Amino acid sequence: MRAPARRSRIRSSALAACAALLLGLAVAPAADAASPDRHRAATLDELARRHGRYFGSAVDNPELTDAAYAELLGREFGTTTPGNGMKWYATEPRRGVFDFTAGDEIVSYARAHHLKVRGHTLLWHSQLPGWLTSGTWTADELRAILKNHITQVVKHYRGKVFAWDVANEIMSEDGTYRENLFYRTLGPGYIADALRWARAADPKAKLYLNDYNVEDIGAKSDAYYTLIKRLKADGVPVDGFGMQAHLALQYGFPGRLPQNVQRFADLGVDVALTELDIRMALPADTAKLAQQADWYGRVTGACLAVKRCVGITVWGYSDRHSWIPSTFPGEGAALPWDENLRHKPAYDAIRQALTAA
């Protein structure tokens, strides 16, 4: 009875070793596959940390059940951002009733894998709960609702979230304030209020304004430049500017990204690239992947060139899980790992930028 059991244990551990080896060959740089751990290639986050930066990836809760995906995320990256789990619809689905299930799941995953967590996001015009968007609020009511939301969420994650996207996407393309629920009811002062309430709830978390299409110098990034300058002059606690960096090959590279990052740093705030991905019209081909790789390398280099650019987060790391195909039909292939968790040229370009600098 005992011998066959032992043989089957040996057989299954041999099979497991083969499977692990095959998996390693699929997801690790070729030179690492059979190397002992101390000789493995440094991860992107380890390379970034040599420059005092972090390299992170967003994750959405359902992706944590994809074991291979979750394992690689935990191994390669230093930070993570919940893709949806800390948004208002998730955290306060009914007025005054808070649900931290999704956010907590990501925080405990992150703890188990030694990742730090960027909080996203306390205030946004999108993914608000129905009770909030369908209600009619006086300014006093809405101010109290916003204050309570920010206070409860930030307090809950105090010590667990190192930076918050306090206000997300509050500017329009032409540099005017976005006419969201809060602006319409409270006027532009809601931004300073939100930052102050967040600071009161967690004095240690870094507080960011965050938006897309602000990577280049233009009307929208100018508006943030002016706003942050004024907030700083008024003593409002703003610590960072997040450039989402959802780029697309067909729209061209934001050529003045380095100067733009520098001018925000010169205002005395940190800058982070918070949601980086670089999409393309499908199907992908060698030329597009090479151009994408070049762009990933340039974005990484632009961050490394400015001391106050503190880190880069990709919005998911693999084409297996990405928001793009459902939002932009016919586009995708935006991330440095492919659907099978294999490195794309973009991964090598990031690596090269992190090692060359």
Active site residue ranges: 169, 275
Closest CB to ligand G3I among residues 121, 260: 121
Residues whose CB is less than 8 angstroms from the CB of residue 212 and which lie 6 or more positions away in sequence, other chains included: 169, 244, 245, 246, 275
Distances (CA, A) of 148 to 28, 85, 151, 179, 195: 45, 18, 5, 22, 13
User: Does residue number 126 form part of the binding site for ligand G3I (CB under 6 A)?
Assistant: yes
Contacts to ligand G3I from residues 227-246, by CB under 6 A: 244
Minimum CB separation from ligand G3I for residue 232, in Å? Answer: 24
Backbone angles phi, psi at 94, to 5 degrees: -130, 150
The only residue of 33, 41, 51, 60 in contact with ligand G3I, by rule CB under 6 A = 60
Contacts to ligand G3I from residues 159-188, by CB under 6 A: 168
Closest CB to ligand G3I among residues 12, 127: 127
Size of residue set near ligand G3I by CB under 6 A: 9
User: Does residue number 250 form part of the binding site for ligand G3I (CB under 6 A)?
Assistant: no
Closest CB to ligand G3I among residues 54, 323: 323
**Cα–Cα distance between 124 and 214 in angstroms, integer?**
16
Backbone angles phi, psi at 239, to 5 degrees: -110, -20
Binding track, positions 271-310, relative to ligand G3I; x by CB under 6 A: ----x-----------------------------------
The only residue of 78, 82, 83, 103 in contact with ligand G3I, by rule CB under 6 A = 83
Minimum CB separation from ligand G3I for residue 212, in Å? Answer: 6
The only residue of 208, 323, 337, 347 in contact with ligand G3I, by rule CB under 6 A = 323
Closest CB to ligand G3I among residues 249, 354: 249
Q: Which two tokens stand for residue 167?
A: 């206000």
User: Does residue number 213 form part of the binding site for ligand G3I (CB under 6 A)?
Assistant: no
Is residue 120 a contact partner of residue 82, using CB atoms and an 8 Å limit? yes
Binding site for ligand G3I (CB under 6 A): 60, 83-84, 126-127, 168, 244, 275, 323
